[in-house]
Amino acid sequence: MPEITFLEAVNSALKEEMHADERVFLIGEDIGAYGGAFKVTGGMLDEFGPERIIDTPIAEAAVIGAAAGAAMCGMRPVAELQFIDFISCGGFDQLVTVAAKSRFRNGVPCPLVVRGPAGGGGRGGPFHSACPEMWFVSTPGIKVVFPATAYDAKGLLKSAIRDPDPVLFLEHKFLYRRIKDEVPNEDYVVPLGQALERRAGDEMTIITYGAMVHTSLEAAEELSKNGHSVRVIDLRTLVPLDEDTIVKAAIETSKVMIVHEDTRRGGLAGEIAAVINENAFDYLDGPILRVTAPDTPVPYAPSLEDAFLPQVSDIVTKANELLQY
């Protein structure tokens, strides 16, 4: 199997789905001639033409609104935002009010994918570094995907495009060119709603997703040097949430820590903790701990952004507290 980057995996998934299904088209700002803000759609305009690679004005509400309308009419649009932060610029209303409620309101499916770069680490400051997943995790009708590897990025995106309902597909920009995997040439999908055990362990579990999967794996390796056995669970899909895998890990290891780049208050860690309390409380040998970003906007200064983002040392310190409990 060839080894490709996370970015190349997304590009490959889009191409394969467009070749396989003529209803699939891409729409977004500068995705054609320019190839996208991060070059994810590079070369696709020449391959598929302007009727299927549609450049738009800088108008997020128009991008997602047009895509949602096309989806309701039987097409399979994939809308790209240059930075996922800009989903708040009117696109939020189209996705939350229109697309998410279509099936419930009038029985019409809305097979729409909204994808774009999320996350910090790139010195983008407070307007280009958001992890806004919880805006949509709490919105019924939208599925939310946040892959950590090239293999999953391709397989999950293909599943998202084929799904009959709206999917928000978050791509951590720090992973685009830094992560490489062996990815099959043949068609495959990664089902939505299935978490994956990235590392085995029986003393405690770290539950995480996105770029924090790699940070958590580094931390687990550091902890292993002192003889600790730490399991790492990659959620991959936030909605639907794989509660079975979460509860099973809590029962088997008795200690759980949740790590995410999103801010602390109202973050997914609180929801996961509630799931564990409701289903595995009697098996716990310590409190459920969280390692998250603080409740501030993402700083621009490199030193402050590094302090804002969860680091390997933060996870190791908190894990040692839990292991010693």
Alpha-carbon gap, residue 282 to 74, rounded angstroms: 48
Q: Tokens 């996208």 belong to which residue?
A: 36
Burial of 281 (0-12, 13-18, 19+ CB in 10 A): exposed
Alpha-carbon gap, residue 220 to 200, rounded angstroms: 10
DSSP string, 94-131: IIIIIITTHHHHHS-----EEEEEE-SSSS--TTS---
Q: Is 128 a catalytic residue?
A: yes
Q: Which one is catalytic: 19, 128, 172, 214?
A: 128
- Which amino acid is residue 62, in one-letter code? A
Alpha-carbon gap, residue 18 to 157, rounded angstroms: 12
Alpha-carbon gap, residue 109 to 9, rounded angstroms: 27
Phi, psi at residue 196, to the nearest 5°? -140, 135
The 3-state DSSP class for residue 238 equals strand
Angle at 206 between CA 204 and CA 319, to 5 degrees: 65
**Secondary structure, 3-state, 34-68:** CCCCCCCCCCHHHHHCCCCEEECCCCHHHHHHHHH
Active site residues: 128
